Amino acid sequence: MLVTLALLGAPLIAFAVTALLTPPLIRLARREGWVAKPGPRHVHREPTPVVGGLAIIAGLVTALIASLVFEQLDPTLSRSSFEHLRIGLLLIGLSIIAFVSLLDDLYDLPALPRLAVHIGAALIAVGPYLWDHTLYPDALGQPTEARGIILTAFNFPFVNQIHLHNLSPWLAIAATVFWIVGMQNMVNWIDGLDGLAAGVTLIAGLVLALHTLTLDPPQLTVALLPLALSGACAAFLLYNTHPARIFMGDVGAMAIGYTLGICALIGGAKLATVLLVLGVPIVDMAWLILTRTLGGRSAAQAGRDHLHHRLLDLGLSQRQVVACYYGLSIAFGAIGLLDFFTPLMKLVALIVLGSAVLLVLLGLQPKPGVA
């Protein structure tokens, strides 16, 4: 009974805190002038508050703190010393990301220093593994737990499991940093339409939570993090659905991207599930990095060449584009969860999804002068 209450309590607490804090944050942002003004690269037509991510972070952190109380009430929810350390590393990295991203929202910081902070925060998540590469026994007695948050191994069709730790601990560190930094920027890049980033993150969080709860044995405490993230994003959608009253800003996008990246790693890497549920924005990001670089532009340069912008230019409304993203995330997230689909079938589904997105990107060129 207490386990069920905890699993429901984490998202509900995150939802309540975010929902309560967002309205005063809207008023504060308007009073202080923390707004995004309309422009050629933007789709909104009125100055809109841009630091809504602070409410998401507050809801998420409050739910995490509450989850520490849950484990005092039921031994089933007790965490190991490794899990407590990982929560601490997450909160430290999240605080740094939030602080610098808030400054970026207010003062428009240069790209390279921001990237350095993203990498630094990812290294904080890796934590003690940087100097202690030992893998300790997990709950089942298998040597798979590191002191930090690290991608030590992941499943892959035909190869079964690839052990990065065995190949090289430094390869595992590099892959972890690449993953966390990539997830931060992926969420930031889809934060271009009302409700898009928050909604996709909500779906991804729920899929990851279901994944952890359907494992044998279920990872009850691990599920609390994506559940809390989903609850905070669900509350933010009350104010961010089109027409949005507030945007999450970089402070929100980078923070939930950082958290989402870590959600996919703790308790064993769930990369296949995440790649499926986030397949569309991940392929879009990879394509933009490639085309911008080949075109002689910085990959970090903002523009209206994202997939969601091209779909708008095709004549779809904001709500229709966002609904397409939601539908694909739910459909492919289900493929990642259901045992009916073998690893090979999931790989084929991912290839089909990626190919379809690439065909759309090739067929829908951005309007001249706005990319």
Of the candidates 92, 78, 77, which has an alpha carbon nearest to the alpha carbon of residue 128? 92
- Gap between the Cα atoms of 69 and 322, Å rounded: 37
Check: CB of residue 102 under 8 Å from CB of residue 45.
Answer: no
Q: Which pLDDT does position 252 carry in this prediction?
A: 97
Peptide linkage before 157 cis (omega within 30 of 0): no
* One-character DSSP codes across 296-363: TS-TT---S-SHHHHHHHTT--HHHHHHHHHHHHHHHHHHHH-TTS-HHHHHHHHHHHHHHHHHHHHH
Q: Which pLDDT does position 357 carry in this prediction?
A: 83
- Gap between the Cα atoms of 158 and 154, Å rounded: 12
Of the candidates 165, 230, 210, 195, which has an alpha carbon nearest to the alpha carbon of residue 322? 195
Q: Which pLDDT does position 350 carry in this prediction?
A: 80
- Gap between the Cα atoms of 322 and 327, Å rounded: 9
Q: For the chain, which ranges sit under pLDDT 50?
A: 369-371
pTM for the complete prediction?
Answer: 0.93
Q: Which pLDDT does position 267 carry in this prediction?
A: 78
- Gap between the Cα atoms of 319 and 341, Å rounded: 31
Digit-coded pLDDT (tens) for 172-189:
999 999 999 999 999 999
The 3-state secondary structure of 120-133 reads HHHHHHHHHHHCCC
DSSP-assigned beta bridge partners for residue 162? 154
- Gap between the Cα atoms of 186 and 180, Å rounded: 10
Q: Which pLDDT does position 294 carry in this prediction?
A: 80
- Gap between the Cα atoms of 26 and 34, Å rounded: 9
- Gap between the Cα atoms of 236 and 287, Å rounded: 29
Tokens of 210: 């279901």
Q: Are strands 153-156 and 160-163 parallel, antiparallel or unpaired?
A: antiparallel
* One-character DSSP codes across 189-248: HHTTSTTHHHHHHHHHHHHHHHHHHTSSS--HHHHHHHHHHHHHHHHHHHHHSSSPS---
